[in-house]
Structure 1
Amino acid sequence: MIKTLALAGASTLALSAAAMAADKTLTISVYSFAQDEFKELVYDPFEEICGCEIVVETGNSIERIAKIEANKDAPVIDMAVLSTHDALGAARKGLLQPIDVAKLSNHAKLYDIAKDPLGDNMGIGYTFYATSIVYRSDKVTVDSWADLLSPELAGNVAFPDITTNQGPPALYMLGKAMGETGADLTAPIEAVGEKADDIVTFYVRSSQLAQLMQQEEIWAAPVGRFAWGQFKDNGLPMAWATPAEGQTGGMNVMVMTANNGNEELALQFMDFWLSTEIQSALANALVDSPANAEVEVSDDIAANLTYGAETVSQLDLLAPATILDERESWLEQWNTKVVK
């Protein structure tokens, strides 16, 4: 049903897609997450419209960026999806080219924060997520990021490692709760270091949290909204916090590799992915929170996503340049104050 609707709605793109040669191949580099769903909802429908073949390469960000860099002079990847700071890092190395947004019919439909998050049209946001605190509502109440270090949660809390995508944003919000106004994470890192013995684990994967929560070894932890489904149906009283300081999060962007020679096909694929129909299909399948502001979903679906203009406007995101420029300093501080 979803695939059929997506194809029907996306048929408006067929006229422009008809210009594509049937023997063309588009090579994309993506996260390994939910690839069966992406194949059904995005890749296969686009192949039917364009008469082309999509070659999908997956892996973690480090591996995928390394491949793009190793083939800089003769690109083997046409487009990729990355976190904002990883994409900015690739752009600074000259691995990417600006995206011609004038050729994207769906660009104007995006939330403003997704239209040009890197500057110079070097990337386009296609999904984002909130980060807050998931907690056992029968054990504690979480009203502030500072509650993570409270006596009530001592010995029952997990915190993201500094090397994860959740680590710096969680520290940033903890700093806000401490009265810090900038992105200098010195104070929150020191605070976490002082309470390190009260923290069950510094996690690197959200799946670790789900197991610890199920085993009742932890009562609370910062986590991305994309992982909420692992907790809300675990049979325990669970809640998603709305801290006084707000929620943070992250964004993933589409990027175009430099001088790949396949720009037109890559642009048409990006436009297809950003369309209301495809973004709706991905949202309803609980794959991605939509960056397209026209997407409408049911309340039940919305409860599992980072969804709606009000929610999006309240996200307090660390600037990708800040993450890129400061992460080595943050890591050094973390190793000194927390890992010891």
Structure 2
Amino acid sequence: MTTPRKTMLAAASVLAMTAGAAQAETLTISWWGFNGEKLDQYIVQPFQEKCGCELVFETGNNADRLNKVKIRGGAGVDVIYLTDSFSQLGVEEGLFQKIDRSKIPNIDGLYELAQDPQGGYGPAYTIGRVGIVYDSEKVNPPITSWADLWREDLASQVSLPGITTTAGPMVVMIAGEKAGTNAFDDADPAFAEIEKIKPNVVKNYNTGSEMINLFSTGEITVSLAQDFALGQLQAAVPSVVWADLEDGAIATLNTVNIPKGAANVELAHEFINFILDPELQKTLAQNGVDAPVAASVELTEEEAAQWTYGKEMIDGLKRVDYSKMNQAKNAWVDRWNEIFGM
């Protein structure tokens, strides 16, 4: 039989637990939301247990989430995940605060490229690359340089990423290099080269799934791609391979930043340090979530196959000056659309 005293103690215990939950710290994170189950298993639940706090989320694409932070004057979230092209916009618009590296000791163990990609702001937590993929059963000789995209034997076989995608403006950079100029300083020679490549281009694609479908239907044999799409592409068309480019693939970084109006700056630093832990980075790579940027992470050849991984590969990547690209992009979009009739 339950006594009145036991009932009162139980009620007091429930009230204490409720009060404790109400006082628990909250960390608001802005991220894409894909890989949700794995992120919950490997990041969300372990960090909540570690910090005794609650994580809440704002999800969406880069542009939408960054715009929300801008509308709120840099407030509303404590940590924001963005690709480096969009985080550069946030830096230039004064939406982020510089981090305190002393509170993120795991930064020191990252590849140099990931430690401070944008001048004192947030680090990269993963790294990818943009390169060329091609159907090895249909393209001969193999593709070994960016200039091969212009080969006459590839007429009506190539898909380029749309100019408004992450990789699209990189085509203009590559075209400038082919012309022997810097497209940021003088875009005319670059767009002259894009005119020349037009006979090879079947279509501009805007999503990874669209590009994969073009390979699957045999409409194309060559495309630019980000490496995270390689696994799905090879599952659809096993003969597709990643080109070993003698002039290097292009780095893409996913960054984490603390907006200037963050409500919980201390916990935000703690969270960033947590996701840069080498053991967690290894677990995420082994489970198909993200490529590691912690230099001490060791993967088997099979585990590393889908990732931008290892010092030699990372040191060989080209970097993009997103400050210059963001200034040039609008004019490039107009010129691109004129060429491709869009």
| TM-score normalised by L of structure 1 | 0.88
Partner SS state of residue 166, structure 2: coil
Give the conservation status (yes or no) of the 8 Å contact 2:122–2:256: yes
Q: Give, as a single letter, the amino acid of the residue that structure 1 aligns with 2:230.
A: W
Match of 1:158 in 2: 159
Match of 2:30 in 1: 29
Q: Which moved more, 1:231-240 or 1:86-95?
A: 231-240
Distance 1:226 1:196, change over 3 A: same
Aligned-residue offset at 1:222? 0.7
Query: Separation in 2 of the partners of 1:235 and 1:162?
Result: 25
**Within 5 Å, which residues of 2 pair with 1:67-146?**
67-72=68-73, 75-119=75-119, 121-140=120-139, 141-146=142-147
Match of 1:294 among 267, 291, 296: 296
Q: Unaligned stretches of 5+ in structure 1?
A: 1-20
Aligned-residue offset at 1:185? 4.5
Aligned-residue offset at 1:298? 0.9
Give the conservation status (yes or no) of the 8 Å contact 2:183–2:189: no
What is the RMSD computed on CA atoms of the aligned residues? 1.8
Distance 1:190 1:36, change over 3 A: farther
Aligned-residue offset at 1:320? 1.9
Give the conservation status (yes or no) of the 8 Å contact 1:134–1:239: yes
Match of 1:227 in 2: 229
State the number of aligned residues.
Answer: 318
Aligned-residue offset at 1:207? 0.9
Partner SS state of residue 262, structure 2: coil
Query: Separation in 1 of the partners of 2:179 and 2:303?
Result: 34
Give the conservation status (yes or no) of the 8 Å contact 2:175–2:191: no
Aligned-residue offset at 1:307? 0.2
Aligned-residue offset at 1:118? 0.8
Match of 1:338 in 2: 340
Percent identical pairs in the alignment equals 32
Query: Separation in 1 of the partners of 2:118 and 2:39?
Result: 25
Q: Per-residue displacement from partner, 1:119-149 (whole Å, max 9, x unpaired)?
A: 1x12211111111111011111212212212
Aligned-residue offset at 1:333? 2.1
Q: Give, as a single letter, the amino acid of the residue that structure 2 aligns with 1:30.
A: W
Match of 1:60 in 2: 61
Aligned-residue offset at 1:39? 1.3
Aligned-residue offset at 1:339? 2.9
Aligned-residue offset at 1:60? 0.9
Match of 1:149 in 2: 150
Match of 1:282 among 272, 275, 284: 284
Aligned-residue offset at 1:323? 1.8
Query: Separation in 1 of the partners of 2:227 and 2:58?
Result: 25
Q: Give, as a single letter, the amino acid of the residue that structure 2 aligns with 1:134.
A: V
Query: Separation in 1 of the partners of 2:290 and 2:188?
Result: 33
Partner SS state of residue 236, structure 2: coil
Aligned-residue offset at 1:95? 1.3
Distance 1:67 1:181, change over 3 A: closer
Give the conservation status (yes or no) of the 8 Å contact 1:146–1:178: no
Structure with greater Cα Rg: 2
Give the conservation status (yes or no) of the 8 Å contact 2:144–2:243: yes
Q: Give, as a single letter, the amino acid of the residue that structure 2 aligns with 1:227.
A: A
Query: Separation in 2 of the partners of 1:271 and 1:236?
Result: 38
Q: Give, as a single letter, the amino acid of the residue that structure 2 aligns with 1:39.
A: D
Match of 1:318 in 2: 320
Match of 2:241 in 1: 239
**Within 5 Å, which residues of 2 pair with 1:243-262?**
243-262=245-264
Q: Give, as a single letter, the amino acid of the residue that structure 1 aligns with 2:334.
A: E
Query: Separation in 1 of the partners of 2:256 and 2:147?
Result: 34
Q: Which moved more, 1:185-194 or 1:273-282?
A: 185-194
Match of 1:12 in 2: none
Query: Separation in 1 of the partners of 2:215 and 2:224?
Result: 12
Aligned-residue offset at 1:279? 0.9
